[in-house]
Amino acid sequence: MPETARAAILGRLHAAAGSGSALPALGKILPGPLSSKGWSPAERLTRLRRAMEAVKTEFLEATEEGWPEAVHDFLVSEGAKKVAYGPATEAGRALAAAFPPGTLPELVPYDRPVEELKGALFTDIDAGFTAVRSAIAETGSLVLWPSPEEPRLLSLVPPLHVALLSSATIRETFLETIREEGWARRMPANALLISGPSKTADIEQTLAYGVHGPKRLVVVLV
């Protein structure tokens, strides 16, 4: 850029800022993201459901005491035969207590290396069950923190993903989520943001669901 053109541009910026000695602060030109919207808990839930249902997410409402039975009854109604879950998690233990032994669906614990479970996980499992760390109302997203006790393949491989969400953990924005949950201090190797069943689009922008992952996402809302 010629020096005269550069000087002219900088001169206009100085004048717009009302000062001939310094450029305006970046924050005055580009406002920062809002961490709070001032939404009530009810509005957070409404916005979350609206955004997620728009991309084919399904919701199943349940009580704090009755959600394991609600999940069991739902999976029975869907004809699921094998359900993978994390037996070492609090939610996993509560789920197992609601599944009578020797009946369908059968709970398959994810308690071995993936090399030992890969065959069953990709061919025999009808559904994967996980807990959800929180949700983001603004974007309509679930936040999952995979762990050795609840690996990410539970939510990414089975054709049906059943996700347990407490309404008390619905945040307004992604920035609020990062701040309130202390992501800067402690974060897993990866975090998953999930809004609906897997989807992809071809070159003609035709959207298809369930091509490279779960065909259905069912959120159990407590």
Q: Are 156 and 214 in contact (CB under 8 A)?
A: yes
Indicate where the chain has its CATH 3.40.50.10420 domain(s): 33-221
How far apart are alpha carbons 134 and 181 in whole angstroms?
9
Pick the CATH number of 33-221 from 3.40.50.720, 3.30.300.30, 3.10.450.50, 3.40.50.10420: 3.40.50.10420
Q: What is the pLDDT of residues 146-198, one digit of tens each?
A: 999 999 999 999 999 999 999 999 999 999 999 999 998 887 788 999 999 98
Residue 28 has pLDDT above 80, yes or no: no
Mean pLDDT lowest among 28-37, 143-152, 182-191, 212-221:
28-37
Q: Are 197 and 164 in contact (CB under 8 A)?
A: no
How far apart are alpha carbons 42 and 25 in whole angstroms?
37
State pTM to two decimals: 0.82
DSSP helix/strand/coil, 171: strand
Q: What is the pLDDT of residues 82-125, one digit of tens each?
A: 999 999 999 999 999 999 988 999 999 999 999 999 899 999 99
